[in-house]
Structure 1
């Protein structure tokens, strides 16, 4: 593959943003983000959130000057360590680092408005404590204006040359496909498009795709849906080899299996129920919690996602 066609003039604008808290997991996120910034000829923006509103909810009590200075010094040390790690990983990448007083969620959602992606470690301490199991990652992935990456999996793992994307036939999966094809192109990787369905699911059984084509057998309908979704993107990225994986199973189950052999899994963010848009769908949540490789969650109409062909 000729990577020159994916040079700086084709890179999407905006820095790679990484949230740090001084933990080992955050350090892995910094290394991943630095590699990502270098690959896309983008700057790296390292962010530490002091989280003053988390310590003093409602603003009824302000932190003492002494405590605030302690929090600032801790943040400065965290940023210095992260900057050194990023510089050693990708010395040619421009780096900016800053510590902000807002909570992690507010800070990173704001940063996402101008970022190409936001990167977090799978767990941590300090301001980003519990990022995996609750607040920061889930809230950010559900509301960010750009793709969100959770760096999961073994610390030392050789690249496999495989990017996996979940395709459900919706417009949302087009955004995920765009990001997945782009990632595969930059990595010179094989793209595996996973389309899993469950014939006991009423949403599948009575889907528009089946009704439109006069109730063709479900398996045939799913093969057609996947082929249609891939066609335009394959034309745009002709050098990316694509493998189709269609199975009758729950999507999260199949994608979790693939995570053991992938460099990255890309999925769309699909909230369900009365809190649609506030929570991640079951597939995204399962991957964010349990995948064995980094996971990229893409919301509908992310400002930095490639547009559908």
Structure 2
């Protein structure tokens, strides 16, 4: 498999653990790291000012995540993305674009794994319109 290791963050403790893990994976596999923040605000009811504030918050979270990744391994190239999708679609889209395909194609045709750092009660991400999880899920205990 080629392309970057893709991870999502929202600045929470769980997401920070995911960024740490992904940075380690990227370093171990000599691959770049792509960190994404899903705003989920592609909805018409938000004002332009609300959208700017959300994007500003997302950029701040991403800056912190990039700084963490560089502290862990300065040699790993890191890029970021702010997505207007929900988290599952955002991550699959970033993984798909890293491989030159759409997120739907990536989810349907590529073997992938996802580390889910949410609590056991957190619902697994699902493809829109599907009752099946979008990826194999592993919970971490760290």
Q: Which residue of 1 aligns with 2:140?
A: 152
Deviation at 1:118, TM superposition (A): 6.3
Counterpart Cα distance in 2 of 1:77 and 1:118: 27
**How many equivalent pairs are there?**
126
Q: What's the C-alpha RMSD, in Å, of the aligned pairs? A: 2.6
Residue 150 of structure 1 deviates from its aligned partner by 4.4
Report deviation, 1:121. Answer: 4.8
Q: Distance in 1 between matches of 2:20 and 2:112?
A: 14
1:26 aligns with 2:9: no
Match of 1:80 among 49, 60, 63: 63
Could you say which structure has the greater relative contact order, defined with CA pairs below 8 angstroms and 6 or more residues apart?
Answer: 2
Q: Which of the pair has more CA radius of gyration?
A: 1
For residue 33 of structure 1, give the secondary structure of its aligned residue in structure 2: helix
1:100 is aligned to 2:83: yes
Counterpart in the other structure of 2:117:
122
Structure-2 change in CA distance of 1:118 and 1:66 (3 Å): farther
Q: Distance in 2 between matches of 1:26 and 1:121?
A: 9
Deviating runs (4+, > 4 A) in structure 1?
115-121, 148-151
Give the conservation status (yes or no) of the 8 Å contact 1:18–1:30: yes
Deviations 1:140-174 (A, max 9, x none): 68334xxx5646113xxxxxxxxxxxxxxxxxxxx
- Equivalent residue, structure 1, for 2:107: none
SS at match of 1:93: coil
Q: 1:16 aligns with which of 5, 20, 35?
A: 5
For residues 229-277 of structure 1, give each alpha carbon's deviation from its aligned partner in whole angstroms, at most 9, with x where no partner exists: xxxxxxxxxxxxxxxxxxxxxxxxxxxxxxxxxxxxxxxxxxxxxxxxx
Contact 2:17 2:117 in 1 (8 A): no
5+ long unaligned stretches in structure 1: 1-11, 124-129, 155-309
Give me the whole-angstrom Cα distance separating, in 2, the residues matched to 1:48 and 1:131.
Answer: 22
- 1-side partners of 2:89 and 2:120: how far apart? 13
Distance 1:26 1:84 in 2: 14
- Runs of at least 5 residues in structure 2 that lack an aligned partner in the other structure: 100-110
| Cα distance change of structure 1 residues 118 and 78 upon mapping to structure 2, 3 Å threshold | farther
Work out the CA distance in 2 between the residues paired with 1:75 and 1:39.
Answer: 27
CA distance in 2 between counterparts of 1:121 and 1:48 reads 15
Indicate which of 113, 133, 139 corresponds to 1:142.
Answer: 133
Out of 24, 36, 40, the position equivalent to 1:51 is: 40
Q: Secondary structure at the match of 2:90?
A: helix
C-alpha deviations, 1:93-134, integer Å up to 9, x for none?
1100111111112111222323695655522xxxxxx89611
Counterpart in the other structure of 2:105:
none
C-alpha distance in 2, partners of 1:18/1:131?
Answer: 19
